[in-house]
């Protein structure tokens, strides 16, 4: 099988005494809330991620930090392609020096994309997320231990 290289982007919203929430967005092709993700760039993937997030969220590149966490090859069903696919998921954690005020809301829209802050347990309670993307949620959960 062909291996599809994708970068999963973890953006946390956490404070002392509050459960960590992760940025997700509603993906129309998958009809599901997903972690931000991109096809992995062949060269300088971290700069590619920063550039895309800067464009998507309107945050200056110099205010975005990106670091590689882990990777995992997983076979999972692709809703958008109606077939099982093998993915090489590379997990990155991204931090913003200054978060735009709009991102302080539990859900918000930027450039017609709807974003949500969710805890892992909220994702696990969402039947649609578990049906379509459980492998990715489990991967993130394991890396956060």
In the chain, where the domains are located: 3-143
| CATH architecture group of domain 3-143 | Alpha-Beta Complex (3.90)
Length of the chain as a residue count: 145
- Reported as a single tens digit per residue, the pLDDT across 56-106 is 999 999 999 999 999 999 998 888 888 889 999 999 999 999 888 889 899
Alpha-carbon separation of residue 42 from 3, 7, 13, 25, 48 (angstroms): 14, 11, 29, 25, 10
Q: What is the mean pLDDT of the chain?
A: 93
pLDDT of residue 108: 96
């Amino acid at each position: 099988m062909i291996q599809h290289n994708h970068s999963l982007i973890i953006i946390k919203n956490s404070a002392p005494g509050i459960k960590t929430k992760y940025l997700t967005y509603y993906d129309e092709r998958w009809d599901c809330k997903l972690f931000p993700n991109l096809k992995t760039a062949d060269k300088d993937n971290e700069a590619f991620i920063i550039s895309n997030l800067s464009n998507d969220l309107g945050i200056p590149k110099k205010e975005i930090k990106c670091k590689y966490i882990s990777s995992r090859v997983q076979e999972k069903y692709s809703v958008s392609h109606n077939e099982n696919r093998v993915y090489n998921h590379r997990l990155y954690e991204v931090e913003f020096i200054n978060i735009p005020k709009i991102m302080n809301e539990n859900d918000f829209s930027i450039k017609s994309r709807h974003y949500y802050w969710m805890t892992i347990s909220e994702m696990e309670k969402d039947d649609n997320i578990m049906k379509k993307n459980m492998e990715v949620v489990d991967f993130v959960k394991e890396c956060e231990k």
